[in-house]
Structures are given as structure tokens and as C-alpha cells.
A and B are shown apart, each in its own frame.
Chain A
Amino acid sequence: MRFLTLVIAGLLVSQFASALCEFENGTISNPDDPLCRDTQLVYTENDDSGDNIALGYPPPIPVDTLTAVDGFRTYSSLFAQHQDLMLTRDTVGGSVVGQTQLDRDIWAYSIGDVDNLTNDGRPEGAVIINGGIHAREWQSPEVLTEIFEQLVERSDDAHIGQYLRDNLNVVLLPVINIDGFIQTQTFPTRATADERQPRDGRMRRKNLRNPSGGVVDNQLDTTDDSFFGVDLNRNSVHGYGLNGGSSANPISLIYRGTAHSSESEILALQAATGLGPADRLRLGIDVHSFSSVYFTPRTGNTRRDAITLGLATRMRAVTNFKYRYSPGPIGSTGIGSLDNYYAFEFQIPSYTLEIEPLNGGQDYGGTGASHSGFVLPDSEITRVRDEIAATLLLGFYRQSGPPHVTAVHITNLARDEVVYAAQWVADGVGRRLEVTTDRAIVPSDDHRIYIAFNKPMRWYDANGNLSNYAGQSSTAGQLELNEPDGLFGISLQLAPNPDWLDVPGGPPDGYLNYRGDAFTRDMPLSQMGLTVGEPKSVALQIELTDIAEMALDADPSTPVDWQNGHWTGYEDSMLAGGDTGGADCTFIVFLADDANATAPPKVAECQAGAPPPLPPPPPPPQPAGGGGGGSGLWLLPLMLLAARRR
């Protein structure tokens, strides 16, 4: 019976560092019991004795440093960094949007150029992202600061950063629950109550509201107030107090407060949406940790919900889908959380982004102690910052709006003459196509086409090489020249890549505004032995996707915008509005055997339906003469020119 004695002895020992709190429906039911309330927990690397909780790695201690380190910055140094970026960079604005319970200023920063107009003079879209609504989730302010820094650092990169600067307004609140965050940083290894639901100190989730007036103090030893505070993620108007998602008990971890929007921190967030301004918002993200998931409400607006899914899919691809997707129930009115506010108030894609870990500290070799997921090891945060910043950058780029063709130039190489030049220019609420050169394309001569877009369409890696953005696969179909009666068409294979331009200068050899926003493609028409007889009007059919796999707006004359949960003016190949886009067929050129022929009536339009598939391009030959920058290596072998006869 020795084993029975052992079992009894073992079970008489506390099962937890402290298991003296009792629970009812997830809430501590004996908060006034000193044995529960006064328990002082300490997070350690290895010591699991008594009320110590071993994590298996050193619990991070905040570091004073403005720049990112392998660790977590103190609030004061994070704040100094934000303020410095605001004061010294033209692309950063900032406003005090409210105060915390302890009267600390809550700042919202807006990142982008001053005019809040896109390159062609229309109001920019806006996104809003906040961190630190839950105090203990230290991953969040670090990630917010990282994307803030990257947007600033990239703002002159002549690429995606500069494009976002010019065409999107990013409203960013690095920390909302500043009081709570500072409380957690003041006690980086301590908490109170019960290991199963640790409270205050490092494990404070809520703000410092004391329901009997005043605030929770910054002492852990005075435990009469340590359960108090409002869960700021249950205090917003949409779904407030509904659907069993919050509690009216001030002790509860999910206490919703006395009324919706009762908390100054939530009022500050609401005020910050005005910096978009609110009617320009297209995306709202509330960054939390942990569990590696995108929570998202479904508002019942089917287009909005579908766009929310599509955007999340592309963002999750950046981290190879290690983050999960968890949409809320259809028809749910929410629980007063911030993602509910963003979704229902503005009908925009909205996520509660729960940063890693998936399970807890065991994902990094730790013990997996309860709540260790809130304590990401110092050694992981640099990677996490980079991964989430890359994710957000892509999300912002995608939600800035779909691509459209802005300009086409065609040069006759034999004659060294521009034979076609046209660009879309702003014209009131729309755009008009301005054709400045329109001469015959002669099939017996070789040509080169230059096509430019409103945004960078291709990514360059850290070494400046053309590559896919993490997890994305930018496609390029074929460039079609189609005659309206369908008698023939010409296809130029664009895959895998035409000659994307990363030097400035505009047409014919430079990008328009951003690296990778334009390409050139040789058109070796002379190899076809084609004669056209009467001059023939043909439409250029241009079809490809941008860095985030978004297809072209097929009709640039109606600029794309965002309204009521969906895109507007975003036409597909059949010129029907929607959220998917298609092929651009708005540039109409003509073919003639005589270079001086006059243009026929421009009646060309794209072929209905998809063009027949072309045979695959021949395999590339072995490179003969070494590197040379790449473009020459793939250009010739991948050219496939086919005259079709139907």
C-alpha cells in the first residue's frame, strides 16, 4: 500500500503554486479570501517551489532602449521612440486622442504624407491599428512600434513604403492601456491570486479603473484592489454586454464596465478613428497575444465578410499559415470588443490578431506553465516583430486598393520611334485616357511595350532581386492583342516575369513612381510573318496581379474606392463592378502593314471569355554568358508569340 500513501501525500500538496482561489463560471468567486487574494506569485526561469512558477526561460525584464533589441522595451523608451519619429519625420503626425485613468496622454500617430491624397489627387484610404489594449500582452506594443518604424524607414524606399506613404494613411495607437502596461512592466516577474488565473502585476489584463472610485494602485502587496479594472476589449458599443462575452462582475477578467464606452481609453480609440478620417477607413486591427489566430467578426455584409477572409488569407500566407483564422458566428452582434467596433461601426475588415505563441512558453522550449504564452522569451521577439510587420505591411498594401494600369508606351524598335503612348489622367471624379501618340504597329517590325501601374507590382528582396513577397505568388498571365471580330489575336507570355523596372526615369526604360511599378516586354512581331491587310484595331488585354495577388481594376476610368464594406469602381474583365478585378482592355492600338497608315475606327474590345490556353513556353536555354542582371536571361526564351486564327 506504499503507493497509496504516496498518492495521498502528493494530493495533499497544493496542486498549483497557489490553488486557493475558487471559480464560478470562470470568475474567481472568493476574491475576499486572503488565501486567494493575497497570494504572491513569482515567475522564474527554473524555480518552481512554493508560489514560484518556472517558465523554463528567464522572464523578460523591460529594457530602456529606443531601438529594438532582443527583448522588450520599457514603455517610456517606446514612447520616446514614437515621439521622436513624430517630431523628426515629415511623414508622421500625432495627436493626443485622450487620457488614461491615470491621466496619461494616449497618442495616435498617423503615418503618410501630409496631403492625405493619392497620387492622382483623390482622398486616401486609411487603416487603423492599435496595440496594448490588454496590458500583459507585451508582444503587441513591440509589434506596433516595429511596423511604425518600418513605415517610416521605408517611406523613401521608392517602393512599397513610399507607395504607402503617398497613398494610404496609417493611424496607429501603439498602446491604449498605458496604465496597465506600465503596471505589468513595474512587476515583470510578479503576479497575484492564482496560477490558473493570475492577476495584477505582470498578468494584469484590464485597465486601472476602481469601481468604488479612483484607480487601482501600483502596489501588489495591497491586494484589496488587485482584481479591479475594466476589460477594455469588452467596453465598446457593438455587442456591449451581449452574447455571453463579458461580465458585469467587477472582479471578472472580462468585466465590461458600467456602460459601453465608459472608459477613457475606449473614447480615445474612438477619437483616433477620426484621424483616418473615419469615413476613409478600410481596415482595423487590434493586436493581442497569444494563440496565433485571427479572430474576426462577421457582420453579415457578405462582400465585407468575403474581403475580410481574402485579406486574412493573404496576410496569413506571409507567415506560412501558422496563424489560424477564426471567424465569429454569422449573425452574432458581437461582445463589445474592439474588432466588433471596427467591423460594425465602419463595415471594414477587422481582426483581433493574436500573436504567437500557439500554446504557451513550451513552443520555445519552456515548461508551458499556465499563462506563459503572455511571457514571450526575449530571444523570440525580434523574429516575431519582423514577421508581423511583414504581415501588416502586406495587409496595408493590399487594402490600399487594387492596381490599375496607368500608362502604356509602344516603341517600334526597327524605326526607334514611339508609336503609341497613352495614360490615364485624373478628370474630375473619374479619369480619362489621354492618348498622345497613336501610330500603326507594323507587324514586320519588332516592337517593345512598356506598361506602368499605379503601385509597385513586384517585390524586391533585401538584395534588390526580384522575388515574391513572403507567401505570395504574383502572377502574370499573358498580354493579348485582340481584334474585335475575333479573327486573330496575338499573345505575349508574361510569365514568369517580364522586365520589371527598378531604375527611375519613366518610359521607356524606367519605373513611373516606384520600383517595380512598370515593365517592358519585347514584341518580336517580325518573326510571325504576319500581314494584316486593312488596318486593324486591336485591344491590349493586360492581366496580372500585384504583390498581394490582387487583380487589376479593369476600368481605370472609374477610380476604385471603398464604401459600405466593399470596393467601388473595381471592375472585372466584363466591366462588372465587384471585388475581384480582371483584365484591363482599355488601351486600343492598331496594326497596319504601312507605318504611316491612319488609324481605323477604334472599335476594338477584349474577347469575351478567356483566351484559349497557349502551349507552354519552351524550356530556357543554358545561360551562355553569365549573369548580367537577369533580364536578358529569361526574356528571349520565354517569349511566345502566337498568331491565332479562329
Chain B
Amino acid sequence: MNPNWWPGSYSKAIQPNNAIINMFLRIMLLFLITMAFGAQAADMSWQSRKTADLVAEARTLLDLGKVTRATEKQLEQIVLTLGSRAPSPDARGLVEQLSQREPQILVAHEEGNTMIPFVDVGAAARVTQRRWTRAAARTNALRAIRAGDPQFLQNYFSADAAGQAGAIDAVGELQVQYLVFYRDQIIDRIEEPGADKLAAAAAAALADIALYESVLTTGTPAIALAAIRELEQTVGADAALRLLKLALRRPDIASASLYEVGRLSATLPVAKNLLWTSLSDPGLGSSAAAVLARHADRNTVNRLATLLDSTENLVQKRALLALRLSGDARAKQIARDWLAQSRPDNESDR
């Protein structure tokens, strides 16, 4: 815990250094804090206030050295607000200082007999620092990409996570003409750390199938998962289906991909067919059943019912699963009847 935040270290900042004024101010401050905390707050946005004012206010709070819930909350709000705007040197200094701040007030946790930080000004300050890094990286990337700077990619790969995020922000904002220059290089370097994020952003911006293929085959699970969820919107249903077939080969995103196929099945009959063929796939069958259940019209229910007579045990089970999961009352009844007939003695499903 930094001792500077505690009472006793406030007097230097107060001008003039007069004990009476000092005391008056402290009483005023406490009064105002109490008022503001309990009463309805004025509808005055933090965002509308000048950076210099916010910094000065934080400095004042720090100099007064009084630590209350209200002052900690106020410091947190100030640093988070500063994160949404370009930093002044003073703001940088303040946030740097606050980034070291340990939580000052613990409160009872709603989960039981333990205490947790009320707010964490230090953590908020560190988020703000990363936002600044990200924003600066975005600005630099916008400039570099617009200029066709060949160094852009090298800079991207040597950046930290916040720097890479800023570059990706830029990619999302730029017109296609600026990005195509980097397309092939991104594909060539797809194995490098962070390349999948960049490729996914470029793929979305360019609606580029090859970039998506790179992401879906070599991307980390989280990036590949995010990519499949935007395909229909970025490349259209037909191309999305082709890419989803590629994604289905990856066990870590296959199930989620099949749900996306399900969303396409409303408009693409070939997508619906893919669901049916997937139903007999040992790995995908359960997901196919869940997706078919979600889109179970009368024809689907009938077809599932006939599969209950399948000689393939797994197909039979997956058809049963789909009927069970369906919101359709008739489908559920078919499942119940079939179970009762096949296992009359066993109440428990095993």
C-alpha cells in the first residue's frame, strides 16, 4: 500500500498552507462527498469535462489524502474517462502514478464470508494505459496503411497485444483499396503470433475468402470461432457455407460451425442437407441433432421420426436427441413414445 494515499501527506498541495483553510476544506469535502453519494446526482457527464480539470481534480483528491468509497470511485471514473481521450502529459503522469495504486477499500462479497476490492483504481488506470497504447497504434496504423508502408506488418508483429489491437481497429476502418496491398503477405505470415487476428480483420474488411481460409485452418480457436460467426454477413451465404465446411474439419469449432450452417439452412437447401448428413457423423451428430431441433418444422420431425427405425444405433440416438430437444410438442411425444416402447422397464435414461 502506498503511504502517500493516506492522511498526513496532503498538506503540501494545498495553497495556501493554512491550517484553518485546510480544515475547512476537508470538512467541505467530506460534506460534499456525503451529499453526492446519497443524493441524486446531477446529470453532468464526465465526458463533458476538460482533461486538465479531471487531472486537477484527481490530484486534489490525492493531495487531500482522504480515502473513502466516494473518492476511490471518483478516481476510478476519472482514469476511465481519461482513457477515452488523447492523453496530455499531465494525464499520463497521473495515470502512471495511479496504475500502481492498490485497492484501498474492501467490501463484503455477496458470495459469502470474504472481502473483495470496492473498486480498483490501479487496475482501471492500467486499462486506460492500454487504451492509449491501442489508440496510438490505431493512429499509426491508419497512417501507415494509407501510405502503403511496407513496414506496417513488421511493426504489427513486433507490437504488444494492445498495439496489435490498435492496428486491427485501423484495419476495420479502412477502405478496401488500402488493405489489398497487405493481403498476400498476411496469408504468407499466417503462422506468426497475432497474424490470425489481423487476417480475420482483413478478411472481414475485404470479404476475402482466402484470408478466411487461412484463419479457419490455422487461427487460434478464439479467432476462428469469432470468424465463423460473421461469415454470412461478410461473404454471403454461399461462400459462408463453403468456408463453414472447412471449419467443420476442426473439432474445436466444428459444433459452433454447424450451428452457423443451421442458420444458413433457412435459405440454403444445401445447408439443410449438410445437417442431415452430419447427423450420422459420430463427432458432429449431436450438434446436427441440436441444430435440426432448433429448425424442426413438420417435415423435419417426420424425417427424424423415421430415423428412429434406423439400424445404426448412433443415428437412432441422434434422431431421438433431436426430437427431444425440439420445442415441438409432437416431436417430444414421438420421442417419449419411442422410449417407452423400447425401454418400458427403465424409468431412468441410461
Interface residues of A (CB under 8 A from B): 2-4, 6-16, 19-20, 22, 26, 35, 46-50, 54, 56, 63-67, 69-71, 76-77, 79-81, 83-84, 86-88, 90, 92-95, 110, 114, 197, 205, 253, 288-291, 293, 295, 324, 326, 328, 352, 354, 359-362, 365-370, 373, 378-379
CB neighbours of B252 from chain A (8 A): 67, 69
CB distance from B38 to the nearest CB of A (A): 7
Q: Note all chain A residues with C-beta closer than 8 A to B29.
A: 7, 11
Residue B192 at the chain A interface, CB threshold 8 Å: no
Q: Given the complex of chains A and B, what is the CA–CA distance between A293 and B49 in angstroms? A: 42
A290 and B127: CB pair below 8 A? no
| A95 lies within 8 A of B111 (CB) | no
A71 touching B222, Cβ below 8 Å:
yes
Q: Taking A66-B255, A362-B117, A368-B119 as contacts, is the C-beta distance between A11 and B126 under 8 angstroms?
A: no
CB of B110 within 8 A of CB of A205, answer: yes
Binds A, one of B79-87, B171-179, B198-206, B299-307: B79-87
In-complex Cβ contact of A16 among B60, B73, B83, B113 (8 A): B73
Instruction: Note all chain B residues with C-beta closer than 8 A to A359.
Output: 103, 116-117, 120
Interface size class of chain B, counting residues whose CB lies under 8 Å from the partner chain: 35 or more
Given contacts A64-B256, A69-B256, contact A87 B45 (CB under 8 A): no
Contact A66 B111 (CB under 8 A): no
Return B296 CB to nearest CB of chain A, in Å.
Answer: 13
Q: Which residues of A contact B46 (CB under 8 A)?
A: 13, 48-49
The answer for the CA separation of A324 and B117 in the assembled complex, in Å, is 17
At the interface, yes or no: B268 with Cβ under 8 Å from chain A? Answer: no
Residue B345 is within 8 A (CB to CB) of chain A in the complex? no
Question: In the complex, A586→B36 CA distance in Å?
Answer: 76
Report the minimal beta-carbon distance from B75 to chain A, rounded to whole angstroms.
Answer: 10
Quick one: given A11-B36, A291-B111, A368-B103, are A65 and B124 in contact (CB under 8 Å)?
Answer: no
A to B CB contacts below 8 Å, 12 in the list:
A8-B32, A11-B74, A13-B36, A66-B286, A69-B256, A84-B286, A94-B350, A110-B348, A293-B114, A365-B127, A365-B130, A368-B103
Would you call B190 an interface residue if the criterion is a C-beta within 8 Å of the partner chain's C-beta atoms? no
User: Assuming A2-B56, A69-B252, A365-B127, is B350 touching A291 (CB within 8 A)?
Assistant: no
For residue B227, give the distance in angstroms from its CB to the closest CB of chain A: 13
Bound-state Cα–Cα, A84 to B279, Å: 12
Query: Which residue of the partner chain B has the closest CB to A46?
Result: B131
User: In the docked arrangement, what's the CA distance between A19 and B38, Å?
Assistant: 8
Chain B: which residue is nearest A368 at the CB level?
Answer: B120
Task: Give the contact stretch, choosing among B147-155, B207-215, B232-240, B318-326.
Answer: B318-326
The smallest beta-carbon distance between B132 and chain A, in angstroms, is 11
Given contacts A11-B36, A15-B41, contact A54 B127 (CB under 8 A): yes
B183 neighbours in A (Cβ, 8 Å): none
Task: Give the CA-CA distance A264 to B254 in the complex, in Å.
Answer: 36
In the complex, the chain A residue whose C-beta lies closest to that of B46 is: A13
Q: Does B159 contact A (CB under 8 A)?
A: no
Across-interface contacts of B287 in A (CB, < 8 A): 65-67, 80
CA distance A2 to B60 in the complex (A): 10
Complex Cα gap A421–B294 (Å): 60
Does B317 sit within 8 A of A, measured CB to CB? yes
User: Chain B nearest CB: distance from A337 CB in Å?
Assistant: 9
Instruction: Say yes or no: is B266 at the interface (Cβ < 8 Å to chain A).
Output: no
Which residues on B sit within 8 Å (CB–CB) of A90? 350
B248: CB under 8 A from chain A? no
Q: How far apart are A285's CB and chain B's nearest CB, in angstroms? A: 15
Q: Is the CB–CB distance between A95 and B347 below 8 Å?
A: yes
- Decide: B350 and A367 in contact? CB cutoff 8 A: no
Tell me the bound Cα distance from A77 to B289 in angstroms: 11
| Chain B CB within 10 A, most for which of A11, A88, A93 | A11
Mask: chain B, 251-270; 1 = CB below 8 Å from A; 0 = not: 11111100100000000000
**Once the chains bind, are A93 and B349 in contact (CB under 8 Å)?**
yes
Q: How far is the CA of A360 from the CA of B115 in the complex (A)?
A: 11
Contact mask B277-321 → A, CB, 8 Å, 1/0?
000000000110110011000000000000000000010011011
B180 within 8 A of A: no
Q: Kindly provide the distance from the CB of B169 to the nearest chain A CB, expressed in whole angstroms.
A: 11
Specify which of B70, B130, B317 is in contact with A88 (CB 8 Å cutoff): B317
Contact with A along B30-45 (1 / 0, CB 8 A): 0011011110111011
- The answer to whether the Cβ of B67 comes within 8 Å of any Cβ in the partner chain is no
Shortest Cβ gap from B43 to chain A (Å): 8
**B28 close to chain A: CB less than 8 A:** yes
Measured CB to CB, the closest approach of chain A to B127, in angstroms, equals: 4
B53 sits at the interface (CB 8 A): yes
Q: CA A253 – CA B112 in complex, angstroms? A: 12
Q: Which B residues between 71 and 110 are near A, CB-CB below 8 angstroms?
A: 73-74, 76-78, 80-81, 83-84, 103, 108-110
**Within 8 Å of chain A (Cβ to Cβ): is B246?**
no
Chain B: which residue is nearest A107 at the CB level? B349
